[in-house]
Amino acid sequence: MQTLNDINLFQQSAFINGEWVEAQSKARVIVTNPATGEEIGSVPDMGSAEALKAVDGSHDALQSWKAMTAQARADILTSWYKLTLDNAEEIAFIMTMEQGKPLAEALGEVKYAASFIQWFAEEGKRIYGDVIPSTNKDQRFIITKEPLGVVAAITPWNFPLAMITRKAAPALAAGCTIVIKPANETPFCALAIAKLAEQAGVPAGVINVITGNSEAIGSVFTTHEKVKKLTFTGSTPIGRILMQQCSSTVKKLALELGGNAPLIIFEDADLDKAIQGALFAKFRNAGQTCVCANRIYVHKKIYSEFAAKFTEAVKSLKVGNGLDNQVQVGPLINEKAIIKAEKLIEDACSKGASLVCGGKRHELGNGFFEPTVLIDVDKSMDIVSEEIFGPVAPLIRFESDKEVIEQANDTIYGLAAYIYTENISRIFEVAEQLEYGMVGMNSTAISNEVVPFGGVKQSGFGREGSKYGLEEFVTTKYLCLEL
């Protein structure tokens, strides 16, 4: 059987200023496989001293990286992209070992992650400025775009590779340098992609990956004068803390925070399509994505039929270790995630909801939880307002468009929403009233490298992917010339 030690890209040191290094204290953070509970390796337990070093290294590397032509940077990024694809299977294996998602999904994430590198390598050549017609015959107005400088990134464990390339690729393409702190649950994908960046010829200090104490490293990232931007994907509570910390240096921020996505199925929906869409949006990554369907609203005329067919489909999902063939739902990341799912189910059932499948820890043990469907859910239940982050699907009955739009918007979050209807007028009427950064209309597979991903309200701000994602890493400079 393959093990991580057979894999060249399996790195257990941090990457600072072009060197693979240990923590000053020599302390380490243990990483476990959520499917087995077994230790798979460890990474340096670093803190503020190493974070300062990484920021300094990144700052030193900035001048020469930003002075390169966009084409020269694109050439390096293109090699990085190719190396990522060449090593896709190894990275996917690392990902399944540390994160738990099924191997096929992990491979999908590697390709998705690589697509950002390729796309931004190209788009980096199209960072245009402007010449604005002058209001004064003796003056000329020229607008240029400049790289922001050193960027710090804090990333989550649910997409351990894509959340990194979605930030690092546009940053590097724009001429910025970056220091990345991956989640402690999943540092190995981050270190693997840094290794490939090194092989691709990314100069020392341009990309750094530092592991260890989140608070200590985060506080250097947020308060250091040399860091010009913090880009964060994670929970809303941590996002609030980081935003507050960034105020001391008035740092530019991008926050991709929690979600509470409604998926609305109208009475005129294509039911089979809606079922497939709901399955993908709910059970991908065992329900651990910020755009997962958190609340499934079904019109009362089709509620029973949808619930029956959807439950049948959920019952057929294969749960297991992501390395096993055909597995569709892997383990949850940790015990805390399981306890959260249990609590939300218990609360819903105590207030009148019923379980039609699943509802408890899976017999496989460890991080496994049964894919679950709850019916007769209503807004009095915590599951409607909290982000579930697990394989639990609550079905809520609704009667009118107005009522369901109000309920869908009745949340602090505003990341993704989904609607299913065959009525084109309704599609636009509803989509325009939904207070969300992204709306999937008869589709739940909405994210890719060419479109802007991001939210409104307390789901954060800033966009990743697309030309909008590149704009996040440049600043606009106005040059006024008197003739």
Applying CB under 6 A, among 13, 214, 249, 276 the residue interacting with ligand ADP is 214
E-assigned strands of 22-160?
28-32, 39-44, 130-132, 139-147, 150-154
Q: Hey, how many other C-beta atoms are within 10 angstroms of the C-beta on 120?
A: 29
Measured from the CB atom, the residue of 182 and 277 that comes closer to ligand ADP is 182
Number of residues that bind ligand ADP (CB under 6 A): 12
Among 133, 180, 172, 179, CA closest to 155: 180
Of 189, 246, 290, 292, which one is the catalytic site residue? Answer: 290
Q: Which stretch binds ligand ADP (CB under 6 A): 139-147, 195-203, 233-241, 434-442?
A: 233-241
Q: Do residues 40 and 97 lie in contact, with contact meaning Cβ atoms separated by under 8 Å?
A: yes
d(CA 253, CA 150): 13
Distance CA 421, CA 442 (A): 7
- Which of these is catalytic: 50, 90, 185, 256? 256
Candidates 14-22, 231-239, 452-460, 461-469; binding stretch for ligand ADP (CB under 6 A) = 231-239
Q: Which stretch binds ligand ADP (CB under 6 A): 131-139, 210-218, 343-351, 408-416?
A: 210-218
Q: How far are the Cα atoms of 236, 262, 301 from residue 429, in angstroms, in the given order?
A: 29, 16, 21
CA proximity to 87, closest of 181, 185, 198: 198
Q: How does DSSP assign 98-154, residue by residue?
A: HH---HHHHHHHHHHHHHHHHHHHHHGGG---EEEPPSSTTEEEEEEEEE--EEEEE
State the nearest-atom distance from the C-beta of 183 to ligand ADP, in Å.
4
Shortest Å, Cβ 289 to ligand ADP = 11
E strand segments, 251-371: 252-256, 261-265, 293-299, 354-357
- 10 Å CB burial of residue 211 (0-12, 13-18, 19+) is buried
Q: Which stretch binds ligand ADP (CB under 6 A): 169-177, 214-222, 265-273, 358-366?
A: 214-222
- Which residues are CB-neighbours of 75 under 8 A, at least 6 positions away? none
Q: Which two tokens stand for residue 14?
A: 């941090």
Q: Which residue is nearest to ligand ADP (CB)?
A: 218
CB neighbour list of residue 299: distance below 8 Å, 6 or more residues apart: 265, 266, 267, 397, 398, 399
Among the listed residues 215, 225, 312, 429, the single contact to ligand ADP using CB under 6 A: 215
The pattern of x and - marking residues 56 through 95 that bind ligand ADP according to CB under 6 A reads ----------------------------------------
Is 290 one of the catalytic residues? Answer: yes
Asked if residue 47 binds ligand ADP (CB under 6 A), the reply is no
- Per CB under 6 A, does 29 bind ligand ADP? no
322 binds ligand ADP (CB under 6 A): no
Which of 52/241 has CB closer to ligand ADP?
241
- Kindly state the smallest distance separating residue 453's Cβ from ligand ADP, in Å: 17
Q: How far is the CB of 222 from ligand ADP (least distance, A)?
A: 8
Active site residue 482: no
Residue 350 main-chain phi, psi, to 5 deg: -70, -15
The answer to whether the beta carbons of residues 179 and 248 sit under 8 Å apart is no
Helix/strand/coil for 381: coil
Complex with ligand ADP: residue 192 or 238, whichever CB lies closer: 238
Among residues 34, 234, 262, 322, the one that binds ligand ADP under rule CB under 6 A: 234
| CB 333, min distance to ligand ADP, A | 8
**183 is a contact residue toward ligand ADP (CB under 6 A):** yes
- Select from 23-31, 148-156, 339-347, 440-448 the region that touches ligand ADP (CB under 6 A): 148-156
Figure out which of the listed residues 218, 287, 359, 454 binds ligand ADP, where binding follows CB under 6 A: 218
Task: Tell me the C-alpha distance between 159 and 289, whole Å.
Answer: 8
Q: Binding to ligand ADP by residue 154, rule CB under 6 A? A: yes
Q: Which of residues 235-274 bind ligand ADP (CB under 6 A)?
A: 235, 238, 241
* CB of 427 closer than 8 Å to CB of 269: no
Rounded alpha-carbon distances, angstroms, from residue 338 to 288, 356, 401: 11, 19, 34
Q: State the residues that interact with ligand ADP by CB under 6 A.
A: 154-156, 183-184, 214-215, 218, 234-235, 238, 241
Question: Which are the catalytic amino acids?
Answer: 256, 290
